[in-house]
Structure 1
Amino acid sequence: MEKKITHWYDAESKIFYKYYYGDIEYIDLIEDWSKLIAENKIPKGVKKFILDYRKANLLTPPHMAMEIANFYKENISWFHHAKVALIMQKPEQVVIPILANEECSDELEFRPFYTLEAAFSWVNG
């Protein structure tokens, strides 16, 4: 499957969604967020994010969770007090948001979920 990242903002629920497809590496995560930030594609004040990895192979090893956390901290003006729900159905992927959350818990929250419904409920809670 070809690597692809799509995104859209639901103005009604005020949730920013990202969908990942294919083999996704650390650099893909960072480059896509950087582009969205540089082009002001994330509406100001958004604090709810749902990242869907169900159709992706996240090739980022767990030790990269610190680098991911650092990226969010370096861009905290976009993510301060945000909830970032990650939909992941592959057990080996779940460790990354757990480790990233340990690094960022004062500034924002990461949490893995198995379903869209559970992620939606948490970001709205």
Structure 2
Amino acid sequence: MDTKYSIHYDETQKVVIEKYSDKVSLNDVISSWEKMIKSKSLPGEARGLVLDCGNAHLDFPASEHQKIVEYYRKNIEFFGKYKIGIVANTPHNIVIVMLVAQADNRYYLRPFTSLKAAMEWAGC
């Protein structure tokens, strides 16, 4: 399988950026998070996570958003530590992100249409 995401740490904003590209399945998203959690390599001073789907298509039905919510709940000790900004600029992607954001108030997640805005919010 080719890599559909890359990870970068912005030291200035103290934000970890996970950038997705092409068609991204639900499994692609969850497996990338699994690797991130298991690696325990996120900098201790990181304040936020930005998932950039600006050049990607979340290739699963919006009704599948509940699987993301369940994954976040299962890993709340990890996701609860960060502000999570998700860049989504297609109606389909925005709907998925909004459904996930509204499903649980134990994680702090918000949709954005630009990487710059997501990074500024997640880093403060």
* TM over 0.5, shorter chain: yes
Structure 1 counterpart of 2:113, one-letter code: Y
Larger RCO (CA under 8 A, 6+ residues apart): 2
Gaps of 5+ in 1: none
Q: Give the 4+ runs in structure 1 shifted more than 6 A.
A: none
How far residue 81 of structure 1 moved from its aligned partner, in angstroms, is 4.6
* Aligned twin of 1:32: 32
User: Using the alignment, how far apart are the partners of 2:31 and 2:123 within structure 1?
Assistant: 27
For residues 46-65 of structure 1, give each alpha carbon's deviation from its aligned partner in whole angstroms, at most 9, with x where no partner exists. 34111111111111211111
Rounded Cα–Cα distance in structure 2 between residues aligned with 1:9 and 1:104 = 26
Matched length:
123
Q: Does residue 67 in structure 1 map to residue 67 in structure 2?
A: yes
Shift of 1:122: 2.1
Question: Which residue of 1 is the match for residue 117 of structure 2?
Answer: 118
Contact 1:44/1:78 (8 A) holds in 2: no
Q: Which moved more, 1:37-46 or 1:54-63?
A: 37-46
| More displaced 10-residue stretch of structure 1: 89-98 or 44-53 | 44-53
Alignment partner of 1:108 is 2:96: no
Give the Cα separation in 2 of the matches to 1:7 and 1:71. Answer: 20
The Cα offsets for residues 28-52 of structure 1, whole Å up to 9 and x where unpaired, read as 0011100111121323463411111
Deviations 1:72-104 (A, max 9, x none): 111111111522111111111101111112222
Instruction: Give the TM-score normalised by structure 2.
Output: 0.87
